[in-house]
Structure 1
Amino acid sequence: MRITNFALLILMSGLSGPVLAETTADQIRKSTVAFLESFASEQAAEGYNVSFKPGSIDSRLALAECAQPLNVEFSGDPWKSTSPSIQVACEGARPWRMFVTASVSIRGPALVAARPLTRGERITSDLLSQQSVEVNASRRGVMTATDQAIGMQVRRAVNAGSLITPDMLSAPNAVERGDHVIITAKTGGFSVRSRGKALASASIGEQVLVENLRSSRTIKASVVAPGQVEIPM
Protein backbone atom coordinates (compact mmCIF):
# COMPACT_ATOMS: atom_id res chain seq x y z
CA MET A 1 0.00 0.00 0.00
CA ARG A 2 1.48 3.30 -1.07
CA ILE A 3 1.27 6.40 1.18
CA THR A 4 1.55 9.74 -0.55
CA ASN A 5 3.89 12.39 0.78
CA PHE A 6 0.88 14.53 1.82
CA ALA A 7 -0.73 11.71 3.81
CA LEU A 8 2.63 10.92 5.45
CA LEU A 9 2.99 14.57 6.49
CA ILE A 10 -0.47 14.56 8.12
CA LEU A 11 0.31 11.31 9.92
CA MET A 12 3.64 12.60 11.25
CA SER A 13 2.01 15.87 12.33
CA GLY A 14 -0.60 13.99 14.33
CA LEU A 15 2.05 11.90 16.08
CA SER A 16 4.14 14.90 17.09
CA GLY A 17 1.19 16.70 18.75
CA PRO A 18 0.18 20.38 18.51
CA VAL A 19 2.77 23.15 18.66
CA LEU A 20 2.29 24.97 21.99
CA ALA A 21 2.37 28.76 22.12
CA GLU A 22 5.00 30.31 24.36
CA THR A 23 5.64 33.41 26.45
CA THR A 24 8.89 34.80 25.16
CA ALA A 25 11.67 36.74 26.85
CA ASP A 26 10.65 39.83 24.85
CA GLN A 27 7.10 39.68 26.21
CA ILE A 28 8.40 39.36 29.76
CA ARG A 29 10.77 42.31 29.23
CA LYS A 30 7.96 44.49 27.83
CA SER A 31 5.68 43.66 30.77
CA THR A 32 8.48 44.50 33.20
CA VAL A 33 9.19 47.84 31.50
CA ALA A 34 5.47 48.72 31.47
CA PHE A 35 5.28 47.97 35.20
CA LEU A 36 8.31 50.14 35.97
CA GLU A 37 6.97 52.96 33.81
CA SER A 38 3.70 52.84 35.75
CA PHE A 39 5.60 52.89 39.06
CA ALA A 40 7.67 55.88 37.88
CA SER A 41 4.50 57.74 36.85
CA GLU A 42 2.85 57.11 40.23
CA GLN A 43 5.89 58.39 42.12
CA ALA A 44 6.21 61.44 39.87
CA ALA A 45 2.77 62.51 41.08
CA GLU A 46 4.18 62.42 44.64
CA GLY A 47 7.23 64.52 43.75
CA TYR A 48 9.77 61.73 43.18
CA ASN A 49 11.86 61.18 40.06
CA VAL A 50 12.30 57.50 39.18
CA SER A 51 14.79 56.20 36.63
CA PHE A 52 15.25 52.52 35.92
CA LYS A 53 16.94 49.92 33.76
CA PRO A 54 15.60 46.36 33.61
CA GLY A 55 18.09 43.52 33.90
CA SER A 56 18.86 41.27 30.97
CA ILE A 57 16.66 38.26 30.24
CA ASP A 58 17.98 35.24 28.35
CA SER A 59 16.57 35.53 24.82
CA ARG A 60 16.24 31.74 24.66
CA LEU A 61 13.74 31.76 27.52
CA ALA A 62 10.32 30.38 26.59
CA LEU A 63 7.59 29.68 29.14
CA ALA A 64 4.03 28.41 28.79
CA GLU A 65 1.64 30.78 27.06
CA CYS A 66 -0.36 32.95 29.45
CA ALA A 67 -4.00 33.49 28.49
CA GLN A 68 -4.18 36.69 30.53
CA PRO A 69 -1.91 39.69 31.12
CA LEU A 70 1.20 38.87 33.11
CA ASN A 71 1.14 39.82 36.79
CA VAL A 72 4.19 41.95 37.64
CA GLU A 73 5.08 43.20 41.13
CA PHE A 74 8.08 44.04 43.29
CA SER A 75 9.21 41.13 45.44
CA GLY A 76 11.66 43.41 47.25
CA ASP A 77 11.09 46.91 48.65
CA PRO A 78 12.12 49.44 45.95
CA TRP A 79 12.35 52.14 48.64
CA LYS A 80 15.16 50.32 50.43
CA SER A 81 17.20 48.97 47.52
CA THR A 82 18.48 50.27 44.19
CA SER A 83 18.32 46.70 42.83
CA PRO A 84 14.88 45.41 43.80
CA SER A 85 13.72 42.03 42.55
CA ILE A 86 10.61 41.92 40.36
CA GLN A 87 8.31 38.92 40.13
CA VAL A 88 6.64 38.16 36.80
CA ALA A 89 3.91 35.54 37.03
CA CYS A 90 1.21 33.85 34.99
CA GLU A 91 -1.93 32.96 36.91
CA GLY A 92 -3.55 31.03 34.04
CA ALA A 93 -4.23 27.34 33.48
CA ARG A 94 -0.50 26.65 33.24
CA PRO A 95 0.84 28.93 36.00
CA TRP A 96 4.49 29.90 36.34
CA ARG A 97 6.58 32.65 37.85
CA MET A 98 10.06 34.03 37.45
CA PHE A 99 12.17 36.87 38.88
CA VAL A 100 13.73 39.74 36.99
CA THR A 101 16.33 42.14 38.34
CA ALA A 102 16.30 45.87 37.71
CA SER A 103 18.27 48.98 38.61
CA VAL A 104 15.91 51.55 40.12
CA SER A 105 16.79 55.02 41.36
CA ILE A 106 14.25 57.07 43.32
CA ARG A 107 15.22 60.69 43.89
CA GLY A 108 13.26 63.12 45.99
CA PRO A 109 13.29 65.44 48.99
CA ALA A 110 14.44 64.08 52.34
CA LEU A 111 15.38 65.58 55.69
CA VAL A 112 19.02 66.39 56.47
CA ALA A 113 20.64 68.02 59.50
CA ALA A 114 20.89 71.79 59.08
CA ARG A 115 23.76 71.87 61.59
CA PRO A 116 25.61 69.36 63.78
CA LEU A 117 23.22 67.64 66.21
CA THR A 118 24.24 66.41 69.63
CA ARG A 119 23.03 63.33 71.44
CA GLY A 120 19.87 64.00 73.47
CA GLU A 121 19.00 67.19 71.57
CA ARG A 122 15.28 67.68 70.86
CA ILE A 123 14.47 68.21 67.17
CA THR A 124 12.91 71.52 66.13
CA SER A 125 12.12 72.74 62.62
CA ASP A 126 15.19 75.02 62.44
CA LEU A 127 17.48 71.98 62.88
CA LEU A 128 16.22 70.42 59.66
CA SER A 129 16.45 71.17 55.96
CA GLN A 130 15.46 69.29 52.83
CA GLN A 131 17.67 68.10 49.99
CA SER A 132 17.06 66.00 46.91
CA VAL A 133 18.69 62.62 47.51
CA GLU A 134 18.58 59.10 46.14
CA VAL A 135 15.98 57.95 48.63
CA ASN A 136 16.32 54.20 48.07
CA ALA A 137 20.11 54.22 48.40
CA SER A 138 19.71 54.19 52.21
CA ARG A 139 18.81 50.75 53.56
CA ARG A 140 17.93 52.42 56.87
CA GLY A 141 15.15 54.47 55.27
CA VAL A 142 14.71 58.23 55.16
CA MET A 143 12.42 60.82 56.70
CA THR A 144 10.62 63.09 54.26
CA ALA A 145 8.32 65.27 56.38
CA THR A 146 9.37 67.57 59.22
CA ASP A 147 6.42 66.50 61.39
CA GLN A 148 7.93 63.00 61.45
CA ALA A 149 10.98 64.33 63.31
CA ILE A 150 9.91 67.39 65.30
CA GLY A 151 9.83 66.64 69.01
CA MET A 152 11.97 63.51 68.64
CA GLN A 153 15.28 63.13 70.46
CA VAL A 154 18.67 62.61 68.80
CA ARG A 155 20.11 59.21 69.76
CA ARG A 156 23.68 59.91 68.65
CA ALA A 157 25.72 62.80 67.25
CA VAL A 158 24.84 63.73 63.66
CA ASN A 159 27.03 65.77 61.29
CA ALA A 160 25.66 68.78 59.43
CA GLY A 161 24.22 67.77 56.05
CA SER A 162 23.78 64.12 57.08
CA LEU A 163 20.64 62.33 55.96
CA ILE A 164 18.20 61.89 58.83
CA THR A 165 17.18 58.24 59.16
CA PRO A 166 14.56 56.85 61.57
CA ASP A 167 17.13 54.98 63.65
CA MET A 168 18.88 58.27 64.51
CA LEU A 169 15.88 59.49 66.52
CA SER A 170 13.78 58.20 69.39
CA ALA A 171 10.63 59.37 71.11
CA PRO A 172 11.43 61.45 74.20
CA ASN A 173 10.45 60.14 77.61
CA ALA A 174 6.93 61.13 78.60
CA VAL A 175 7.62 59.93 82.13
CA GLU A 176 10.88 60.28 84.03
CA ARG A 177 11.97 58.16 86.98
CA GLY A 178 10.65 59.74 90.18
CA ASP A 179 7.88 61.71 88.44
CA HIS A 180 4.49 61.82 90.08
CA VAL A 181 1.93 60.46 87.60
CA ILE A 182 -1.81 59.97 87.31
CA ILE A 183 -2.77 56.27 87.23
CA THR A 184 -6.00 55.48 85.40
CA ALA A 185 -7.57 52.05 85.78
CA LYS A 186 -10.14 51.38 83.06
CA THR A 187 -12.78 48.77 82.38
CA GLY A 188 -15.38 49.44 79.72
CA GLY A 189 -16.76 52.94 80.27
CA PHE A 190 -15.75 53.03 83.93
CA SER A 191 -12.45 54.42 85.21
CA VAL A 192 -10.75 55.12 88.53
CA ARG A 193 -7.86 57.52 89.04
CA SER A 194 -5.14 57.60 91.65
CA ARG A 195 -1.73 59.13 92.13
CA GLY A 196 1.53 57.27 91.71
CA LYS A 197 5.29 57.60 91.28
CA ALA A 198 7.21 56.32 88.26
CA LEU A 199 10.01 53.91 89.13
CA ALA A 200 11.65 54.24 85.69
CA SER A 201 11.65 56.44 82.60
CA ALA A 202 9.54 55.58 79.53
CA SER A 203 8.09 57.10 76.39
CA ILE A 204 4.48 56.96 75.17
CA GLY A 205 3.42 53.40 74.34
CA GLU A 206 6.01 51.81 76.62
CA GLN A 207 5.33 50.05 79.92
CA VAL A 208 6.73 51.29 83.20
CA LEU A 209 6.65 50.22 86.86
CA VAL A 210 4.68 52.64 89.02
CA GLU A 211 4.17 52.79 92.79
CA ASN A 212 0.60 53.55 93.82
CA LEU A 213 1.02 56.23 96.50
CA ARG A 214 -2.22 55.27 98.24
CA SER A 215 -1.69 51.50 98.49
CA SER A 216 2.13 51.42 98.18
CA ARG A 217 1.68 48.61 95.64
CA THR A 218 3.97 48.40 92.61
CA ILE A 219 2.12 47.91 89.34
CA LYS A 220 3.00 47.76 85.64
CA ALA A 221 1.27 50.42 83.55
CA SER A 222 1.36 51.76 79.98
CA VAL A 223 2.40 55.37 79.37
CA VAL A 224 -0.42 57.09 77.44
CA ALA A 225 0.63 60.76 77.73
CA PRO A 226 3.18 62.90 79.59
CA GLY A 227 2.61 62.23 83.29
CA GLN A 228 -0.20 59.75 82.67
CA VAL A 229 -0.26 55.96 82.78
CA GLU A 230 -3.01 53.43 82.36
CA ILE A 231 -3.73 49.90 83.60
CA PRO A 232 -6.54 47.49 82.71
CA MET A 233 -8.93 46.45 85.48
Structure 2
Amino acid sequence: MRTTLLVSLIFMSALATPVLAETTADDIRLATTSFLAAFGRTQAKEGYKVTFETGGIDSRIALAPCSAPLAVEFTGDPWKSEHPSIQVACSGERPWRMFVTTTVSISGPALVAARPFGRGERITTGMLKTRSVVVNATRRGIMTDVDLIEGMVVRRPVNAGSVLTPDLLEAPDAVTRGDHVIITARSGSFSVRSRGKALANASIGEQVLVENLASSRTVRANVTAPGHVEVPM
Protein backbone atom coordinates (compact mmCIF):
# COMPACT_ATOMS: atom_id res chain seq x y z
CA MET A 1 0.00 0.00 0.00
CA ARG A 2 2.79 2.37 0.91
CA THR A 3 4.61 1.59 -2.35
CA THR A 4 1.44 2.21 -4.37
CA LEU A 5 0.91 5.57 -2.67
CA LEU A 6 4.53 6.62 -3.34
CA VAL A 7 4.25 5.75 -7.03
CA SER A 8 0.98 7.66 -7.28
CA LEU A 9 2.53 10.77 -5.72
CA ILE A 10 5.46 10.67 -8.13
CA PHE A 11 3.10 10.30 -11.07
CA MET A 12 0.92 13.20 -9.95
CA SER A 13 4.02 15.36 -9.39
CA ALA A 14 5.19 14.65 -12.93
CA LEU A 15 1.81 15.70 -14.28
CA ALA A 16 1.97 18.95 -12.32
CA THR A 17 5.42 19.81 -13.73
CA PRO A 18 5.10 21.49 -17.18
CA VAL A 19 6.98 19.71 -19.94
CA LEU A 20 8.85 22.15 -22.16
CA ALA A 21 8.56 21.60 -25.88
CA GLU A 22 11.61 21.22 -28.09
CA THR A 23 12.97 24.35 -29.75
CA THR A 24 11.96 24.19 -33.40
CA ALA A 25 13.00 25.93 -36.60
CA ASP A 26 9.96 28.21 -36.25
CA ASP A 27 11.14 29.26 -32.78
CA ILE A 28 14.61 30.06 -34.13
CA ARG A 29 13.17 31.98 -37.07
CA LEU A 30 10.83 34.00 -34.84
CA ALA A 31 13.64 34.92 -32.45
CA THR A 32 15.86 35.98 -35.35
CA THR A 33 13.27 38.09 -37.15
CA SER A 34 12.17 39.74 -33.88
CA PHE A 35 15.77 40.66 -33.15
CA LEU A 36 16.31 42.11 -36.65
CA ALA A 37 13.02 44.01 -36.52
CA ALA A 38 14.06 45.59 -33.21
CA PHE A 39 17.44 46.49 -34.72
CA GLY A 40 15.63 48.14 -37.62
CA ARG A 41 13.39 50.19 -35.34
CA THR A 42 16.42 51.41 -33.39
CA GLN A 43 18.25 52.50 -36.56
CA ALA A 44 15.11 54.18 -37.93
CA LYS A 45 15.31 56.63 -35.03
CA GLU A 46 18.75 57.64 -36.34
CA GLY A 47 17.52 58.15 -39.91
CA TYR A 48 18.48 54.76 -41.37
CA LYS A 49 16.26 52.24 -43.14
CA VAL A 50 16.91 48.55 -42.49
CA THR A 51 15.62 45.68 -44.61
CA PHE A 52 16.50 42.06 -43.89
CA GLU A 53 16.00 38.42 -44.75
CA THR A 54 16.94 35.33 -42.77
CA GLY A 55 18.71 32.42 -44.37
CA GLY A 56 17.23 28.96 -44.61
CA ILE A 57 16.74 27.06 -41.35
CA ASP A 58 16.33 23.30 -41.55
CA SER A 59 12.67 22.60 -40.75
CA ARG A 60 13.67 19.28 -39.17
CA ILE A 61 15.75 20.94 -36.48
CA ALA A 62 14.72 20.09 -32.91
CA LEU A 63 16.92 21.50 -30.17
CA ALA A 64 16.62 20.97 -26.43
CA PRO A 65 13.82 22.88 -24.73
CA CYS A 66 14.90 26.25 -23.35
CA SER A 67 13.70 27.33 -19.93
CA ALA A 68 15.02 30.86 -20.49
CA PRO A 69 14.27 33.36 -23.29
CA LEU A 70 16.43 32.80 -26.36
CA ALA A 71 19.41 35.18 -26.56
CA VAL A 72 20.09 36.63 -30.02
CA GLU A 73 23.06 38.72 -31.11
CA PHE A 74 25.14 39.62 -34.16
CA THR A 75 28.42 37.74 -34.45
CA GLY A 76 29.59 40.11 -37.19
CA ASP A 77 29.32 43.88 -37.56
CA PRO A 78 26.12 44.64 -39.55
CA TRP A 79 27.56 48.07 -40.44
CA LYS A 80 30.46 46.47 -42.30
CA SER A 81 28.74 43.55 -44.01
CA GLU A 82 25.43 42.87 -45.74
CA HIS A 83 25.60 39.28 -44.56
CA PRO A 84 26.24 39.36 -40.81
CA SER A 85 25.77 36.07 -38.98
CA ILE A 86 23.45 35.87 -36.00
CA GLN A 87 23.85 33.64 -32.97
CA VAL A 88 20.76 32.25 -31.26
CA ALA A 89 21.53 30.69 -27.89
CA CYS A 90 19.85 29.07 -24.91
CA SER A 91 21.34 29.46 -21.45
CA GLY A 92 18.84 27.19 -19.72
CA GLU A 93 19.40 23.83 -18.06
CA ARG A 94 20.49 22.28 -21.37
CA PRO A 95 22.37 25.13 -23.06
CA TRP A 96 22.96 25.24 -26.81
CA ARG A 97 23.65 27.73 -29.57
CA MET A 98 23.32 27.88 -33.33
CA PHE A 99 24.07 30.38 -36.09
CA VAL A 100 21.69 31.81 -38.65
CA THR A 101 22.76 33.50 -41.87
CA THR A 102 21.10 36.80 -42.77
CA THR A 103 21.01 39.49 -45.41
CA VAL A 104 20.81 42.95 -43.89
CA SER A 105 20.72 46.22 -45.84
CA ILE A 106 21.18 49.52 -44.01
CA SER A 107 20.37 52.58 -46.12
CA GLY A 108 21.03 56.15 -45.09
CA PRO A 109 22.57 59.50 -46.06
CA ALA A 110 26.23 59.72 -46.99
CA LEU A 111 28.53 62.31 -48.52
CA VAL A 112 29.48 61.71 -52.15
CA ALA A 113 31.67 63.55 -54.64
CA ALA A 114 29.68 66.17 -56.56
CA ARG A 115 32.38 66.13 -59.26
CA PRO A 116 35.63 64.29 -59.95
CA PHE A 117 38.39 64.96 -57.41
CA GLY A 118 42.07 65.09 -58.24
CA ARG A 119 44.81 63.87 -55.95
CA GLY A 120 45.92 66.61 -53.57
CA GLU A 121 42.74 68.72 -53.83
CA ARG A 122 41.50 70.24 -50.62
CA ILE A 123 37.85 69.51 -49.80
CA THR A 124 35.35 72.38 -49.75
CA THR A 125 31.60 72.29 -49.14
CA GLY A 126 30.81 72.91 -52.81
CA MET A 127 32.59 69.68 -53.79
CA LEU A 128 30.13 67.55 -51.81
CA LYS A 129 26.54 66.41 -51.95
CA THR A 130 24.44 64.01 -49.92
CA ARG A 131 22.49 61.01 -51.20
CA SER A 132 21.09 57.80 -49.76
CA VAL A 133 23.38 54.78 -50.08
CA VAL A 134 23.57 51.25 -48.72
CA VAL A 135 25.84 52.05 -45.83
CA ASN A 136 27.04 48.52 -45.11
CA ALA A 137 27.79 47.72 -48.76
CA THR A 138 31.32 49.03 -48.17
CA ARG A 139 33.60 47.85 -45.39
CA ARG A 140 35.54 51.10 -45.54
CA GLY A 141 32.82 53.12 -43.84
CA ILE A 142 31.08 56.31 -44.91
CA MET A 143 31.31 60.00 -44.02
CA THR A 144 28.31 62.13 -43.11
CA ASP A 145 29.61 65.28 -41.39
CA VAL A 146 30.79 68.03 -43.76
CA ASP A 147 32.47 69.92 -40.94
CA LEU A 148 34.75 66.97 -40.18
CA ILE A 149 36.13 66.64 -43.71
CA GLU A 150 36.15 70.22 -44.98
CA GLY A 151 39.79 71.21 -45.52
CA MET A 152 41.04 67.63 -45.76
CA VAL A 153 43.12 66.55 -48.76
CA VAL A 154 42.20 63.95 -51.38
CA ARG A 155 44.67 61.05 -51.33
CA ARG A 156 43.88 59.65 -54.80
CA PRO A 157 41.54 60.47 -57.70
CA VAL A 158 37.82 60.11 -56.97
CA ASN A 159 35.05 59.76 -59.56
CA ALA A 160 31.93 61.92 -59.47
CA GLY A 161 29.21 60.25 -57.41
CA SER A 162 31.64 58.08 -55.42
CA VAL A 163 30.87 57.62 -51.74
CA LEU A 164 33.52 59.32 -49.62
CA THR A 165 35.28 56.95 -47.25
CA PRO A 166 37.93 57.73 -44.62
CA ASP A 167 40.71 56.09 -46.64
CA LEU A 168 40.19 58.56 -49.52
CA LEU A 169 41.10 61.61 -47.43
CA GLU A 170 43.91 62.72 -45.16
CA ALA A 171 44.62 65.69 -42.96
CA PRO A 172 46.50 68.51 -44.69
CA ASP A 173 50.13 69.10 -43.81
CA ALA A 174 50.53 71.53 -40.95
CA VAL A 175 54.22 71.93 -41.78
CA THR A 176 56.08 71.30 -45.01
CA ARG A 177 59.73 70.61 -45.69
CA GLY A 178 61.76 73.82 -45.37
CA ASP A 179 59.13 75.69 -43.31
CA HIS A 180 60.39 77.73 -40.39
CA VAL A 181 58.59 76.54 -37.26
CA ILE A 182 58.40 77.39 -33.57
CA ILE A 183 59.88 74.62 -31.41
CA THR A 184 58.49 74.39 -27.89
CA ALA A 185 60.49 72.31 -25.43
CA ARG A 186 58.13 71.51 -22.56
CA SER A 187 58.47 69.96 -19.10
CA GLY A 188 55.29 70.22 -17.04
CA SER A 189 54.33 73.89 -16.84
CA PHE A 190 57.84 75.04 -17.85
CA SER A 191 58.58 75.60 -21.55
CA VAL A 192 61.27 77.14 -23.75
CA ARG A 193 60.75 78.28 -27.35
CA SER A 194 63.21 78.40 -30.20
CA ARG A 195 63.17 78.60 -33.98
CA GLY A 196 63.63 75.63 -36.23
CA LYS A 197 63.22 74.31 -39.77
CA ALA A 198 61.06 71.36 -40.74
CA LEU A 199 62.93 68.62 -42.60
CA ALA A 200 59.77 66.88 -43.89
CA ASN A 201 56.04 67.31 -44.34
CA ALA A 202 53.69 66.37 -41.49
CA SER A 203 50.15 66.97 -40.33
CA ILE A 204 48.88 67.73 -36.82
CA GLY A 205 49.50 64.80 -34.49
CA GLU A 206 52.35 63.38 -36.54
CA GLN A 207 56.05 63.49 -35.76
CA VAL A 208 58.58 65.31 -37.88
CA LEU A 209 62.33 65.90 -37.87
CA VAL A 210 63.18 69.54 -37.14
CA GLU A 211 66.53 71.34 -37.19
CA ASN A 212 67.05 73.76 -34.31
CA LEU A 213 68.41 76.87 -36.03
CA ALA A 214 70.25 78.04 -32.89
CA SER A 215 72.09 74.80 -32.10
CA SER A 216 71.97 73.08 -35.52
CA ARG A 217 70.77 69.96 -33.71
CA THR A 218 68.10 67.76 -35.29
CA VAL A 219 65.23 66.69 -33.03
CA ARG A 220 62.06 64.66 -33.49
CA ALA A 221 59.03 66.75 -32.59
CA ASN A 222 55.26 66.40 -32.51
CA VAL A 223 53.29 68.76 -34.75
CA THR A 224 50.76 70.59 -32.57
CA ALA A 225 49.49 73.27 -34.97
CA PRO A 226 50.43 74.82 -38.31
CA GLY A 227 54.00 76.05 -37.90
CA HIS A 228 54.30 74.75 -34.32
CA VAL A 229 56.03 71.64 -32.99
CA GLU A 230 56.76 70.38 -29.48
CA VAL A 231 59.45 68.21 -27.91
CA PRO A 232 59.60 66.91 -24.34
CA MET A 233 62.43 68.15 -22.12
Look up the match of 2:108: 108
Look up the match of 1:226: 226
Look up the match of 1:118: 118
Greater CA drift, 61-70 or 48-57 = 61-70
In 1, Cα distance between equivalents of 2:93 and 2:195: 67
TM (norm. structure 1) is: 0.86
Listed one character per residue, the Cα deviations across residues 148-188 of structure 1 (whole Å, up to 9, x for unaligned) are: 32111111111211211211111111110111112222222
Matched ranges for 1:68-79 at <5 A: 68-79=68-79
In 2, Cα distance between equivalents of 1:188 and 1:141: 39
In 2, Cα distance between equivalents of 1:44 and 1:62: 34
Look up the match of 1:207: 207
Q: CA deviation at 1:43?
A: 0.9
Question: What are the ranges of 5 or more consecutive residues in structure 1 without an aligned counterpart?
Answer: 1-6
TM (norm. structure 2) is: 0.86
Matched ranges for 1:38-117 at <5 A: 38-117=38-117
In 2, Cα distance between equivalents of 1:86 and 1:109: 26
Question: What are the ranges of 5 or more consecutive residues in structure 2 without an aligned counterpart?
Answer: 1-6
Q: CA deviation at 1:30?
A: 1.2
In 2, Cα distance between equivalents of 1:69 and 1:123: 51
Look up the match of 2:216: 216
Q: Report the CA distance shift for 1:130/1:65 in structure 2 as closer, same or farther (over 3 A).
A: same
Listed one character per residue, the Cα deviations across residues 62-88 of structure 1 (whole Å, up to 9, x for unaligned) are: 333333222222111111211111122
Q: CA deviation at 1:111?
A: 0.8
Equivalent residue pairs, number: 220
Look up the match of 1:144: 144
Greater CA drift, 92-101 or 112-121 = 92-101
Listed one character per residue, the Cα deviations across residues 23-51 of structure 1 (whole Å, up to 9, x for unaligned) are: 32222211111111111011111111111
Q: CA RMSD in A?
A: 2.3
Greater CA drift, 53-62 or 104-113 = 53-62
Q: Report the CA distance shift for 1:50/1:214 in structure 2 as closer, same or farther (over 3 A).
A: same
Aligned letter for 1:135? V
Look up the match of 1:188: 188
In 2, Cα distance between equivalents of 1:147 and 1:96: 48
Q: CA deviation at 1:93?
A: 4.2
Aligned letter for 1:103? T
Look up the match of 1:153: 153
In 1, Cα distance between equivalents of 2:64 and 2:186: 61
Aligned letter for 2:79? W
Q: CA deviation at 1:124?
A: 0.4
Q: Report the CA distance shift for 1:53/1:226 in structure 2 as closer, same or farther (over 3 A).
A: same
Match of 1:35, SS state, is helix
Maintained 8 Å contact 2:114/2:127? yes
